[in-house]
Amino acid sequence: MSFETEVINEGLTKIEVPRVERLRGPGRKSRLPFFNPLMRTNRDVSVFVALTVLSDGDKVLDGLAATGASGLRIALETKNELAVTLNDRNPICHDLITRNIERNRAKGCSVTCEDLNSLLSRGRFNLVDVDPFGTPVQFVEGAMRATTNGGVAAITATDTAVLCGSRRRACMRRYSSRPRRTDYCHELGLRILLGYIARAAARFDRGIEPLLCFSADHYFRAIVRVRRGARRADSTLEKLGNLHVHGLGRELIPEKGVAGPLWADAFLDAAFLESVKLPSYFPHKVSKLLELWREEASSPPLFYTTGEVAREFVSEPPALDRIIGALRDEGFVATRTHFRPDAFKTNADVESIGRILRT
């Protein structure tokens, strides 16, 4: 199959990609190798995670590699001596990945053309990246088993409408969890994905520790450390909960509620985020995001939009900075959130939010 290509620069890597009309949104299945320039931030994140967690001799699997963009960037932009496997079952991708490795003279890279689950059943890797079209559910168990003890798995999901409650039954089938369409459904969706990963890990006596889990554009990404052992699995399962709502109040607790089961613990690891050092050539957008994630890491779960608190207590939505400042002045924790630019997280109870808004 012949198709027109072009070479683009991303980070320190030159990537030959199909020349196709770019579409916004999630990838669509086609025989052409898939490349979405809008997913650059996701690949930038892969590079800084690899820079932060890997050391010489570590093994990396870019399991659904397409053009090889992500795995190649890890191989070239982290200074460590890594063994990077780039896998895609599409033979056209295999040829393109081979050319991209040669073009960049990338050391330590190998290409495979297999079904990802078959590769995951045999190999062991310190970093496993799974970036599918749509839901990752069919690869999650394999990824949990193939990640070394203390290694990291990075799982992307682009079926955000399902996880956010637009297709409730599909969410129950895929994730065995009840979603809920709300102003804060993106946080619930991310927590449903994490809850699914946690249960898949536990089935094989493994636990997870979320390092950086986030929502961006049309996708969710969960980057977690995997730890072996039945005790780790048990303590991971204790972090699952359900959503309960009472008026504007909301909380995540173990008893069955209106949505769940879902991850009820932290999804951003403050110490990990503090240890990240971004390369100087990274886009400003990534440093702004990192700053926001670091801020959010200190916050309690769930958030309120300025619109919903205004509907409840006052007529006009308050300025975000004003409400965050006023809550902090009263001694509460209050931060922005990466989920929405018009929302805040706080440990203040709903009555206190109302009182502060009215003054």
Ligand X SMILES: C[S@@+](CC[C@H](N)C(=O)[O-])C[C@H]1O[C@@H](n2cnc3c(N)ncnc32)[C@H](O)[C@@H]1O
Q: What CA–CA distances, in Å, run from 42 to 48, 139, 302?
A: 10, 19, 23
- Choose which of 75, 93, 198, 212 interacts with ligand X (CB under 6 A): 93
Measured from the CB atom, the residue of 68 and 241 that comes closer to ligand X is: 68
Is residue 78 involved in binding ligand X (CB under 6 A)? no
Beta strands in the chain (DSSP E): 5-10, 13-18, 59-62, 83-87, 109-112, 125-130, 147-157, 206-216, 219-228, 240-246, 249-253, 259-263, 304-305, 334-337, 340-346
Is residue 35 involved in binding ligand X (CB under 6 A)? yes
Is residue 142 involved in binding ligand X (CB under 6 A)? no
In the numeric block, the tokens 């939505």 are attached to 317
In the complex, the smallest distance separating the C-beta of residue 37 from ligand X, rounded to whole angstroms, is: 9
Region from 81-89, 94-102, 331-339, 350-358 binding ligand X, contact rule CB under 6 A: 81-89
Is residue 168 involved in binding ligand X (CB under 6 A)? no
In the complex, the smallest distance separating the C-beta of residue 162 from ligand X, rounded to whole angstroms, is: 16
In the complex, the smallest distance separating the C-beta of residue 17 from ligand X, rounded to whole angstroms, is: 8
Q: Which of residues 42-71 bind ligand X (CB under 6 A)?
A: 43, 64-67, 69-70
User: How far apart, in whole angstroms, are the C-alpha atoms of residue 34 and residue 68?
Assistant: 10
Q: In what order do the strands lie in the sheet with 259-263?
A: 249-253, 240-246, 259-263
Residue number of the CB closest to ligand X reads 64
Is residue 76 involved in binding ligand X (CB under 6 A)? no
Measured from the CB atom, the residue of 11 and 27 that comes closer to ligand X is: 27
- Residues 257-276 as x/- pattern, contact with ligand X by CB under 6 A: --------------------
Q: What CA–CA distances, in Å, run from 141 to 8, 136, 199?
A: 34, 10, 9
The amino acid that residue 123 corresponds to is G
* Residue 60 half-sphere exposure toward CB, CA atoms < 13 A: 33
Question: Where along the sequence are the contacts to ligand X (CB under 6 A)?
Answer: 27, 34-35, 39, 43, 64-67, 69-70, 87-90, 93, 115-116, 131-133
